[in-house]
Amino acid sequence: MRAPIVIILAAGQGTRMKSTTPKVLHEIAGRSLLGHVIEAAATLEPEHLVVVVGSGKDQVIAHLDEIAPWVVTVEQEQRNGTGHAVRIALEFLEGRGVSASESPVVVLTGDTPLLTGSSLTNLLKSHVDGRAQATVLTANFVDPFGYGRIIRSGDLVTGIVEEKDATPQQREIQEINSGMYAFDGAALHTAVTGLNSHNSQGEEYLTDVIGIMTADGGVVIGIGAQDTNDIMGINDRAQLAQAAAIMRDRINVKWMQAGVTMLDPASTWIDIDAELAADVTLLPQTILRGPTAIEAGAQIGPGTTLISSEVGANAIVRHTWAELVVIGAGATVGPYTYLRPGTVIGESGKAGAFVEMKNSQLGAGSKVPHLSYVGDATIGEGTNIGAGTVFVNYDGVEKHHTTVGNHVRVGSDNMLIAPIVIGDGAYTAAGSVITDDVPAGSMAVGRAQQRNILKWVLRKRAGTSSAKAAERALETEQ
Ligand code: UD1
Ligand code: CA
């Protein structure tokens, strides 16, 4: 069998989304609706894949350049119907010296993100095995309202009639047209040139090619979708949410079958590009976005969002938001930790409660346990950063870097005014403002000497509860 040509129709406006973003660019599971359809179509290894664009074409074309530069686009300037769109795609290919006449042509729409490669493979195989001029992917719906209905005579399909053009009797038919088809290229080419727009919508209906083919004695078959979700089209935000939930369940089942434990799959959202090892545990309300990778034995959540990040084996990440971050094996992060791009937590390192880090590398076994901001820093191994420390990286105009060596002990509540270097094994006193480099092995003290003004409260706050408490204490001392 020759590799098929795939045409994806995506010129429509998607008015019901009520969005400035073209409908097919809305996302589920971290990929555009159109991106999901292209991914499914790619399993057919098409010789050519043409996307028909129109409404919002500049955005759609820019998106395709980014995610699938191998596909080509053709503009349908006037939305004259699905048949017109397919005709334009075939003419475009001809103009490039590609004849569709010798290949199967698969027609899809850009708004069916739940379509799977296996549904398409099955469609194409049935089509080729059945030696049909057209094979329509169908489904039986309890409520078929709005869809084209499949007219059959015995096993064969004789036509498709649109809801708006159907007789009351035809509207009773529950077998609907998914809008996905495999065609014999030559038969499709002939049929689309014979289309007219004598119908209730004044459009060239692709569905009319079925009647044209069968009238000429061609064989058209209809095969049921393996999973009716596969053909679900997105028209509005409610359907977008439904499809997202179905996709979430599919992704979660796949990972659970691969050995991932999920306490609450319904609140666990994993993008299509994530990679999880066996024996990962995901606690409720975990969101893994982009190409996030989690190694074996790691425990993520509850309440954690990881974006395009890596987590090493056996790490624990609780109540955390992290983007473009690497968390080493055996490290612990959270709860309530904010890790911004460029943060690397070394093996067995720790970023604890209420810690924010940005563009900073924390060496193996080093710890930032509590209430700190670490920005633009390189921290060595085995170092401890005391509670409430701030890496003061911003002078109001520029950002500066701080280097902290190995086995350093930064005291609690330090301000480390960048740029500075703290040498290996150095200590800094609690409450210090460190403005100069600290040589290896030194103790840096950067704070005012304490001064006690004796009996100040007794004199200046006489009669207060504090003064009375002090008097009692001083009496018993005597
Ligand atoms: C179409 C089918 C209907 C089927 C349904 C499945 C026709 C005439 N009807 O109806 O039998 O049950 O899909 O969802 O084909 N498009 C273009 N250019 C156009 C018109 C449409 O690119 O000029 C694209 C749209 O962006 C969309 C797809 O084609 O992706 C389907 O168009 P739409 O108007 O939604 O068709 P339906 O009325 O839903
Ligand atoms: Ca329509």
**Domain locations in the chain?**
5-231, 257-444
Name, in order, each residue with C-beta under 8 angstroms of 177's C-beta and a sequence gap of 6 or more: 136, 138, 147, 148, 149, 150, 160, 207
Pocket flag, ligand 1, residue 233 (CB < 6 Å): yes
Nearest alpha carbon to residue 119 among 184, 62, 37, 196: 37
Please state, in angstroms and rounded to a whole number, the distance separating the CA atoms of residues 349 and 258.
28
Assign domain 257-444 to a CATH class.
mainly beta
User: What pLDDT is attached to residue 154?
Assistant: 87
Instruction: Clarify whether 400 is annotated catalytic.
Output: no
User: What pLDDT is attached to residue 344?
Assistant: 98
Residue 43 in contact with residue 120, Cβ under 8 Å? yes
User: What pLDDT is attached to residue 132?
Assistant: 97
The conformation of residue 279, written as its DSSP 8-state character, comes to T
Pocket flag, ligand 1, residue 207 (CB < 6 Å): yes
Tokens of 475: 């009496």
Peptide bond into 302 cis (omega under 30): yes
Pocket flag, ligand 1, residue 231 (CB < 6 Å): no
What CATH number is given for 5-231 in this structure?
3.90.550.10
Please state, in angstroms and rounded to a whole number, the distance separating the CA atoms of residues 137 and 65.
29
Q: Count the residues in the chain.
A: 478
User: What pLDDT is attached to residue 302?
Assistant: 98
Q: How far is the CA of 203 from the centre of ligand 2 (A)?
A: 9
User: What pLDDT is attached to residue 2?
Assistant: 85
pTM given for the model: 0.94
Please tell me which residue in 84, 127, 370, 407 is annotated as part of the active site. 370
User: Ligand 1 atom 39: the closest Cα is on which residue?
Assistant: 147
Please state, in angstroms and rounded to a whole number, the distance separating the CA atoms of residues 398 and 171.
69
Pocket flag, ligand 1, residue 206 (CB < 6 Å): yes
Q: How far is the CA of 67 from the centre of ligand 2 (A)?
A: 27
Please state, in angstroms and rounded to a whole number, the distance separating the CA atoms of residues 171 and 119.
26
Tokens of 336: 């309530």
User: Ligand 1 atom 20: the closest Cα is on which residue?
Assistant: 81
Please state, in angstroms and rounded to a whole number, the distance separating the CA atoms of residues 18 and 5.
32
Please state, in angstroms and rounded to a whole number, the distance separating the CA atoms of residues 435 and 156.
84
Pocket flag, ligand 1, residue 351 (CB < 6 Å): no
Extract the residue ranges of the chain whose pLDDT is less than 50: none
Name, in order, each residue with C-beta under 8 angstroms of 352's C-beta and a sequence gap of 6 or more: 332, 333, 334, 337, 367, 368, 369, 370
Quick check: helix, strand or coil at residue 247? helix
